[in-house]
Amino acid sequence: MHDPACHVPRFSDLLDAAARLRGLAHVTPVLRSRSLDALAGCELYFKAENLQRAGAFKFRGAANAVFSLTPEQAARGVVTQSSGNHGAAVALACRLRGIPCTVVVPHSAPRIKREAIARNGARIVDCEVGQSARDEATRAVLDDTGGELVHPFNDARVIAGQGTATLELLGQVERRARARAGDGDEPRPVLDLVLAPLSGGGLMSGTALAAHGIDPRIRALAAEPEGACDGHDSLKSGTRITGRSANTISDGLRAELGPLTFAILREHCEDVLLASDAETVAAMRLLWERLKLVVEPSGAVPLAALLRQRERFAGLRVGIILSGGNVDLDALPGLLALAP
């Protein structure tokens, strides 16, 4: 459906994206918590992408794609599909560049995310929830407008932009480590591993490419809800699984892997960890209580998955991408009731 997505981004593409995003995307903080380290049995470095523009890491990939368009492409406008965060990010990037934007949005998208898309001036086209319905509606809009597709994850420009979060994370941690290091310290990787949520795979692909581009010794792991584990099952089986219905509160993690992201993750992602919705809500509460951060369910899945398998991470230094903070406050009482 979209040509620019057909190649695996090179590490140089991530560096180009970082340069393009300078002054556009926020440099989000890396946060620590001694009490969470003690609970997890390892050192945790939280990259707070919930504080990114539009409230999620998605702005990185969206802005990299939108601002890399030629003037001729930009004049035709941009089309995308999204359950919320990507749509809001693309809408914001298009508003900043002054070009039209249309977002295909499933009926199930949270109100807060739908409102963010509209607030940034995009036209919303409603569709049914399933991936095939999203794709069909997106094709119809592309045929009607002749716009440029910026896919939420299966797009090299988007993947390169998402990878800049990990480039920043590793640079920030390295600067801290350099400030503390002694002259005789043994060289080690900046972090032992990075952990990010998995949905369509754009963030995780960028995360893994960035980590391995900086230091091939850094392990890249993904986290996914039990009720939307098509990525886990796809990578275990070696065959991309499509067409499943997702059953999870993590509305940002209901997409399926694309051909491009599946290929990247087969090479660069060591494993996919799972977490239940109840564990995810418990992790949200911990992040609110210990870091004073509002993190949506999708962003809390990595911490939930890590806490489920504490022994696996004992003594390691782990970077975690907190992917977004767009919580539907009206749904909050029901969410908190799921916690054990």
Per the domain annotation, does 204 fall within a domain? yes
Q: Are residues 252 and 278 in the same domain?
A: yes
Given 149, 172, 192, the domain boundary residue is: 149
Per the domain annotation, does 112 fall within a domain? yes
Q: Are residues 85 and 193 in the same domain?
A: no
Per the domain annotation, does 284 fall within a domain? yes
Q: Are residues 233 and 313 in the same domain?
A: yes
Per the domain annotation, does 330 fall within a domain? yes
Per the domain annotation, does 1 fall within a domain? no
Least confident residue range of 126-135, 203-212, 254-263, 326-335: 326-335
Given 130, 149, 168, the domain boundary residue is: 149
Task: Specify whether the CB–CB gap between 245 and 106 falls below 8 A.
Answer: no
**Amino acid residing at 273:** L
* Model confidence pLDDT, tens digit, residues 61-80: 999 999 999 999 999 999 99
Task: Specify whether the CB–CB gap between 134 and 141 falls below 8 A.
Answer: no
- Residues 6 or more apart in contact with residue 42 via CB below 8 angstroms: 306, 310, 313, 314, 315, 316, 317, 318
Query: Within the chain, what is the greatest distance between any pair of CA atoms?
Result: 64
* Model confidence pLDDT, tens digit, residues 172-199: 999 988 887 665 565 789 999 999 999 9
Q: Are residues 189 and 97 in the same domain?
A: no
Burial label, 183 (beta-carbon count in 10 A; 0-12, 13-18, 19+): exposed
E-only strand ranges, the chain = 30-31, 43-48, 78-81, 101-106, 123-127, 148-149, 193-197, 219-225, 271-275, 317-322
Per the domain annotation, does 42 fall within a domain? yes
Q: Are residues 181 and 275 in the same domain?
A: yes
User: For all residues of the chain together, what is the average pLDDT?
Assistant: 93
- pLDDT at site 186: 58
Tokens of 176: 């801290």
Is residue 4 predicted with pLDDT exceeding 70?
no
Q: Are residues 108 and 90 in the same domain?
A: yes
Q: How confident is the model at residue 333 (pLDDT cuts 50, 70, 90)?
A: confident
Q: How confident is the model at residue 338 (pLDDT cuts 50, 70, 90)?
A: confident
Domain count for the chain, please give it: 2
CA distances from 244 to 130, 255, 259 (A): 8, 9, 16
Is residue 279 predicted with pLDDT exceeding 60?
yes
Q: Are residues 295 and 208 in the same domain?
A: yes
Q: How far apart are CA 93 and CA 6, in angstroms?
A: 22
Is residue 2 predicted with pLDDT exceeding 50?
no
Q: How far apart are CA 157 and CA 5, in angstroms?
A: 7
Per the domain annotation, does 2 fall within a domain? no
Q: How confident is the model at residue 1 (pLDDT cuts 50, 70, 90)?
A: very low
Task: Specify whether the CB–CB gap between 10 and 159 falls below 8 A.
Answer: no
Q: How far apart are CA 127 and CA 103, in angstroms?
A: 10
How many CA within 13 A on the CB side of residue 143?
A: 6
Per the domain annotation, does 3 fall within a domain? no
Taking residues 84-88, what's their average pLDDT? 89
- pLDDT at site 83: 76
- pLDDT at site 335: 80
φ, ψ at 94 (rounded to 5°): -65, -40
Q: Could you tell me the residue range of the domain that residue 311 belongs to?
A: 8-56+156-336
Question: What share of the chain in percent tops pLDDT 70?
Answer: 96
Q: Are residues 314 and 197 in the same domain?
A: yes
- Residues 6 or more apart in contact with residue 245 via CB below 8 angstroms: 130
Q: Are residues 41 and 64 in the same domain?
A: no
Is residue 50 predicted with pLDDT exceeding 70?
yes
Q: Are residues 51 and 64 in the same domain?
A: no
Q: How confident is the model at residue 268 (pLDDT cuts 50, 70, 90)?
A: very high
Q: Are residues 252 and 133 in the same domain?
A: no
Is residue 306 predicted with pLDDT exceeding 80?
yes
Pairing of strands 78-81, 101-106: parallel
Q: Are residues 67 and 41 in the same domain?
A: no
Taking residues 299-318, what's their average pLDDT? 98
Given 122, 149, 176, the domain boundary residue is: 149
- pLDDT at site 73: 95
Q: Residue 108's domain is classified under what CATH number?
A: 3.40.50.1100
